Chains A and B, each alone.
Chain A
Amino acid sequence: MKFDVNGETLEVSPRAGQSLRTLLRDNEHFEVKKGCDTGDCGACSVLVDGTPIHSCVYPAHRVAGRAVTTVAGLGTPEDLHPVQQRFVDAAGFQCGFCTAGMVVTASTLTDADPADLPRLMKGNLCRCTGYRAINDALHGVANVAKPGCAGRTAGAGSPAASGAGCAGHDGSGCLGPTPVIRSVGTSVRAPAGARIVTGQERYTLDLAMPGVLHLVVLRSPHAHARITSIDTAAAVALEGVAAVFTHENVPQTLFSTARHQNRTEDPDDTLILDSVVRFRGQRVAVVVAESLSIAEEACRLLDVTYHVLPANFDPSRAQEPGIPALHADKDSHVSRIADPARNLVAELHGEYGDLAKGLAAADVTVSGTWQTARISASALETHGTVGWLDDDGRLVLRTSSQVPFLVQTEIARIFDLELDRVRVFTTRVGGGFGGKQEIQTEDLVTLAVLATGRPVQYEMTRTDELTVVPCRHPMRTSVTLGATRDGRLTAVHVEVLSDTGAYGNHGPGTMFHGCAESVSLYNSPNKRVDAEAVYTNNMPSGAFRGYGLGQVIFGIESAMDDLAIALGMNPFDLRRLNAVGPNDPLVITHVEGDDLVFGGSYGLDQVLDLAQSALERGNGVSAPEGSAWKVGEGMATAMIATIPPRGHFAEASVTLGPDGVYTLSVGTAEFGNGTTTVHSQLAATALNTEPALLVIRQSDTDVVPYDTGAFGSAGTVVAGKAVLAAATALALKLRESVAALTGIPVEEWMLESDGLRSSDRFVPLAEVAAFAAPAATAALTPETVSIPGGRARVVATPDGITSTGEHDGAQRSLAFNVHAFRVAVNTGTGEIRILQSVHGADAGFVINPEQCRGQVEGGIAQGLGTAMFEELVIGDDGEVLTSVLRNYHLPSIADLPVTEVYFAETTDGLGPFGAKSMSESPYNPVPAALANAVRDAIGVRPHELPISRDRVWRLLHG
């Protein structure tokens, strides 16, 4: 059949039953994305004869004779469609994976009633932004600076809105070159913006790989079973099947799917394929074939017999006698499992002071137990990897990962390969949020590539994401607080039970982190923590924004609210009275090590003031009319370390090439976190150039020697420090070189974007590079250049001058977040209307206000999803019942309020230019703040998330 795509006629034969989405992608229209494949997320939206549709549920045969328009047909990076321009100007994206569908849909709505936009856009889901910036794009609001034009920094007390001003820091505007280009502190636009809004940015699986094989996984129908036999004969015999794998023909190396700088942080309890399945949906066998269709058919031909074993889904019973010990076959020390005999993965029991004495001394005590739900990270891009052998026979993995270097090392370990025989890289990643701090696909692709010698692709489905990809650990937190009559804490007791599911990936880490800054936030002479993480036959839990803190904070901050009520005290004042000050020790169960410091940037006092004053100021929004509506206010506080503990390493380099162009090489991954923009701003500021003039290479084990990866909010404060060191040293070296070239002293030279200038001379960058370059035969000896606060290695080669910086993240600072809500609650239906949402964020010096605001808003959005809507529901037999997006409610544009975001005015002594990380932490106080507001409105305390309408109703009527 024939049809047109973006004006070009295609003559193709779609497969019977094929959807338009895959037909377009088969024809290299990679701008059409897969988010769900069920018609729910809108990432695949295209126009058919001008009518917008979801191409994943559109029969391909129906486009015969029709004209299809994708986002790439609307405009190009050089000639943007007006709606594409609006998304760029508004910074209406983070990872950008949903953007193609957003733009296509929005392009049909330019005449729509603005009040109707929430309904019209509800079928386009974004997991990153929280929609404020998308809403700005829909309404033509600009938030970023034009290229070459600095923006305005949001200061303390002013909303971080409209950072799109065009004034340079010296007030000279953008009419001409300014002597100093200081892009840090301005809302520089993301370098990939124009490519993202036109669908030109390539993500993990956006490539046509000739001869690629497809991989399909057969998954367990039982929550706990021993595989007694697998007959693969029929599958192997099917034409087009290249390989079949079972537990009998894979490496027997135990590992953890979780990845950390120190691999010993997670228990080695997982095999690529195991003879025992411990949750419903666990891998049983793998087929690799010429097409997905053949691989699926071969999977149906596998004949597996199971010996079904008893299963336990209740974490509170996991340690009881008679409950199956899921990993009793493992050695406690070798696998690092606290007690395999009773399903105990990790535990923390410790006391500071004397809890009993503290409780006895209290005038007031409160206590309660709070339960959080199982939450899916649900990045719009599902996990996927394509792997192949390069010309040198080296394994190459192009994968959707936050941690390419950690994947490289573990893949090499599992398959017993030399590190230099494995290259791992990412393109732009379509969202992560912790869910891609994992090996979920790379091991299987490696297995298949090594066995077949051919390229292999494995793309997980949305249902995989919702049923087998690790979710946020559900935690039960019991809190008892004691305080004196005037509100000073005398005792804090926190008990946590975390359900790590069938495997222990991130189980210890989230448990320890959950009980860390949540407990050390408050001064109390007596504290006790009893925390345990246990195995169950539920789907595995894993890393997700906040890494355990949000769950425990929900309990502690709810209890603090109860304490404020019991004392008759303002909840902001209760925090002011008890929170750690900049000179207080940090105590969990003992005084914390000196790697964690306030960094001279303590901002809790400011963010408490900012949130409280905003709430008191109000916003003019009143509750709906009617006696059923009750109004309440609530707040919660959170503290977070700016870097994960025990080391986070990054190397980064800046090269001035012979052509006079700078190339910035960084290891960390870009998945919408905006670190690419921040790194270009840091380097450009040090080199006094425009960020847009830098060529950026990133997230590739071939590009830099090492980077721990993009987690723990480390992109700005670790990789950013390495970038800044490299760029600063290079700037110094260039001035030294030009001084040597001209004989004019170093002090008289200043870098400009295209060269160096002294009072009466100008030398182009290319000339400096040529002068510094040695003859091809010259010995290359790196020179260590000392710069303020660090040093870098500089080496000149015929390819240019390269400066490499590094950072070890050993010293860590602390950041603070306060969220507050005013809500109206309908006592008849349980509906919660958010009337006002305010957030104070202590991010230190804010390098890119619009991006940082976006990170804060994205965290709040995921917090509200957790607080109000999201829950993976598991049935009696371990089946996840919420296996598609229509049954697992990711917040849509209609669900979220605009939050007033206020930044504290602090400057950190550790981070680059005084910046602190600000990505995970905004999530952490949100559920508790909402619960506290609901409590204030209806007089009944929520103890369980999500605070859905039916749960609120039951609090009142149940």
Chain B
Amino acid sequence: MDLNTVADVIPARTRADLAVLGPTVAPLAGGSALYGEPQHHLTAIVDLLTMGWPSLTVTADGLEIAATCTLAELSRLPQQPGWAAQHAFFECCTALYGSFKVWNVATVGGNLSAALPAGPMTSLTSALDGEALVWRADGSDERMPVTRFITGNKTTVLEPGDVLRSITVPLESLLSRVAFRKIALSPLGRSGAVLLGRRSPAGAFVLTVTAGTVRPLQLRYETLPAAAQLAADVLAITEWFTDAHGAADWRRSVSALLAAEILEELA
């Protein structure tokens, strides 16, 4: 929709151009979130796409995903040798409520910064132990796990003026086997619960619970847990929530079922 209070669109070319960001000046990435709801508090927007950040950079240590990388680009990354986890890129994109046309514009950073519990890039990057790089308004850099970047339902560590620059995914996660499960109140609807399991080459198992909880939560095990143990641990989570996409008690229960399926797949 038109953002009628916005009087200026500022193309950013250097980090210094971001200095104008603040409570009434927001960063713009793909636009599908920003233009998707009223933003009457904004007077200007700063376009991040003109920063020209490379979307995806494969390094010896893993993958760096620019905040401005679109879901479409992420989903189409050519298969990298040995990256057993890569199928989850596409799978997590399919968990986006928006259509494949939204993938063409929506960005990984935008999805994380919106911090909706159902944000599938939150699911993906937290499940892969991704690390967020935040450009603080004061010019400093801060790195933190994605699980700490997201602080709650639509809240993050970002303060006015801060920008999420990138997500770095460690190679070990990419080499791990990953299983993905999603459920919603309709076949392809907005996620009620998204769970990913990851089993590292060394055998450690991590279950990441998202969409049904207000923020991503992880259960970590040195080796594959017993089914009963995993179920008990999922059911012990307390941060389930209720909205139009599912009741908290249902989300808790089906998350335990999905966790069991993931355990079976990765056994």
Q: Which residues of A are in contact with B by a Cβ distance under 8 Å? A: 15-19, 22, 37-40, 42, 45, 51-54, 56-59, 61-62, 105, 118-124, 292-293, 296-297, 300, 828-831, 868-869, 871, 873, 881-882, 884, 886-889, 891-892, 894-895, 948-950, 953-954, 957-958
Query: Least Cβ distance of B33 to chain A in Å?
Result: 8
In the bound complex, residues from chain A placing their C-beta under 8 Å from that of B157 are none
Looking at the complex, which of B37-45, B127-135, B225-233 is the stretch in contact with chain A?
Answer: B37-45
Query: Least Cβ distance of B247 to chain A in Å?
Result: 4
Contact (A54, B37) CB under 8 Å given A16-B9, A953-B254: no
Is B104 in contact with A51, judged by CB distance below 8 angstroms? yes
Q: Which residues of B are in contact with A by a Cβ distance under 8 Å? A: 1-9, 28, 31-32, 35-37, 40, 42, 44-45, 47, 49, 94, 97-102, 104-105, 183, 185-190, 192, 243-247, 249-251, 253-254, 257
Is B247 in contact with A17, judged by CB distance below 8 angstroms? no
* Bound Cα distance from A57 to B28, whole angstroms: 12
Is A882 in contact with B244, judged by CB distance below 8 angstroms? yes
Chain A interface SS verdict (over half):
loop
> Closest chain B residue to A120 by CB distance?
B100
In the bound complex, residues from chain A placing their C-beta under 8 Å from that of B99 are 42, 54, 105, 120-124
Query: Least Cβ distance of A585 to chain B in Å?
Result: 44
| Top 8 A-B pairs, shortest CB-CB distance | A123-B99, A17-B6, A17-B3, A950-B250, A293-B4, A37-B1, A57-B35, A950-B247
Contact (A894, B4) CB under 8 Å given A39-B98, A887-B244: no
Contact (A39, B100) CB under 8 Å given A894-B186, A954-B247: no
Is B186 in contact with A18, judged by CB distance below 8 angstroms? no
Q: Give the contacting residue for B104; candidates A52, A124, A829, A958; CB below 8 A.
A: A52
In the bound complex, residues from chain B placing their C-beta under 8 Å from that of A52 are 100-101, 104
* Bound Cα distance from A948 to B183, whole angstroms: 13
Is B250 in contact with A873, judged by CB distance below 8 angstroms? no
* Bound Cα distance from A15 to B31, whole angstroms: 15
Is A949 in contact with B98, judged by CB distance below 8 angstroms? no
* Bound Cα distance from A136 to B12, whole angstroms: 46
Is B37 in contact with A123, judged by CB distance below 8 angstroms? no
In the bound complex, residues from chain A placing their C-beta under 8 Å from that of B94 are 119
* Bound Cα distance from A45 to B104, whole angstroms: 12
Query: Least Cβ distance of A148 to chain B in Å?
Result: 38
Q: Give the contacting residue for A954; candidates B36, B102, B192, B250; CB below 8 A.
A: B250
> Closest chain A residue to B3 by CB distance?
A17
Is B37 in contact with A38, judged by CB distance below 8 angstroms? yes
* Bound Cα distance from A84 to B86, whole angstroms: 37
Of the A-B pairs whose beta carbons lie under 8 Å apart in the complex, a sample of 15, sorted by A's number, is: A38-B1, A39-B32, A39-B98, A40-B97, A54-B102, A57-B105, A58-B31, A62-B49, A122-B188, A296-B5, A829-B254, A889-B189, A889-B244, A950-B192, A950-B250
In the bound complex, residues from chain B placing their C-beta under 8 Å from that of A22 are 2
Q: Give the contacting residue for B97; candidates A16, A881, A886, A954; CB below 8 A.
A: A886
In the bound complex, residues from chain B placing their C-beta under 8 Å from that of A16 are 3, 6-9, 44-45
Is A892 in contact with B4, judged by CB distance below 8 angstroms? no
Is B45 in contact with A17, judged by CB distance below 8 angstroms? yes
* Bound Cα distance from A886 to B97, whole angstroms: 7
In the bound complex, residues from chain B placing their C-beta under 8 Å from that of A869 are 185-186, 189
Q: Give the contacting residue for A958; candidates B28, B47, B249; CB below 8 A.
A: B249
Contact (A58, B2) CB under 8 Å given A39-B98, A894-B186: no
In the bound complex, residues from chain A placing their C-beta under 8 Å from that of B257 are 828-829
- Supplied contacts A54-B99, A948-B185, A949-B183, 13 more A-B pairs, CB within 8 Å: A16-B7, A18-B2, A18-B3, A38-B1, A59-B9, A59-B31, A293-B4, A830-B254, A873-B244, A889-B244, A894-B188, A950-B246, A950-B251
Contact (A123, B253) CB under 8 Å given A22-B2, A56-B1: no
Is B102 in contact with A39, judged by CB distance below 8 angstroms? yes
* Bound Cα distance from A300 to B5, whole angstroms: 11
* Bound Cα distance from A411 to B238, whole angstroms: 56
Q: Give the contacting residue for B187; candidates A37, A881, A884, A895; CB below 8 A.
A: A895
Contact (A38, B36) CB under 8 Å given A19-B2, A56-B1, A58-B31: yes
Is B187 in contact with A105, judged by CB distance below 8 angstroms? no
Is A830 in contact with B189, judged by CB distance below 8 angstroms? no
Query: Least Cβ distance of B242 to chain A in Å?
Result: 9
In the bound complex, residues from chain A placing their C-beta under 8 Å from that of B104 are 51-53
Contact (A954, B249) CB under 8 Å given A57-B31, A895-B186: yes
